């Protein structure tokens, strides 16, 4: 049986640093960068409002988050 099964992704994670998601978010007025602590990047890319350090989400889509919805 070895070699007969192949795993296939059925979905794509919607992460801020995926090129399509990045373009969509930036077109909606958001910015994408990691959280910085003491001048050093910490963790994954996050979505931020252009002039503010909110919401800081590490995912690019969510339901019911009005702040995140304002930037895509």
pLDDT tens digits, one per residue of 36-54: 999 999 999 999 998 888 8
pLDDT for the residue numbered 61: 77
pLDDT for the residue numbered 55: 83
pLDDT for the residue numbered 70: 77
Alpha-carbon 15 to chain mean position: 4
pLDDT for the residue numbered 54: 85
pLDDT for the residue numbered 1: 56
**How many domains are contained in the chain?**
1
Residues of the chain with pLDDT under 50: none
Which range of residues forms the domain containing residue 36?
19-69
Is there a domain that residue 12 lies in? no
Would the pTM count as exceeding 0.95? no
Task: Round the CA-based radius of gyration of the chain to a whole number and report it.
Answer: 16
Is there a domain that residue 9 lies in? no
Is there a domain that residue 49 lies in? yes
> What kind and span of H or E run contains 26?
helix 19-27
Is there a domain that residue 53 lies in? yes
Sheet with strand 30-37: strands edge to edge: 30-37, 40-49, 55-57
């Amino acid at each position: 049986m070895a070699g007969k099964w192949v795993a296939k992704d059925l979905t794509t994670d919607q992460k801020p640093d995926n090129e399509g998601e990045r373009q969509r978010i930036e077109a909606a007025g958001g910015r994408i960068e990691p959280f910085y602590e003491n001048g050093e990047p910490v963790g994954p890319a996050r979505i931020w409002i252009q002039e503010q350090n909110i919401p800081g989400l590490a995912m690019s889509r969510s339901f019911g988050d009005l702040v995140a919805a304002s930037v895509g």
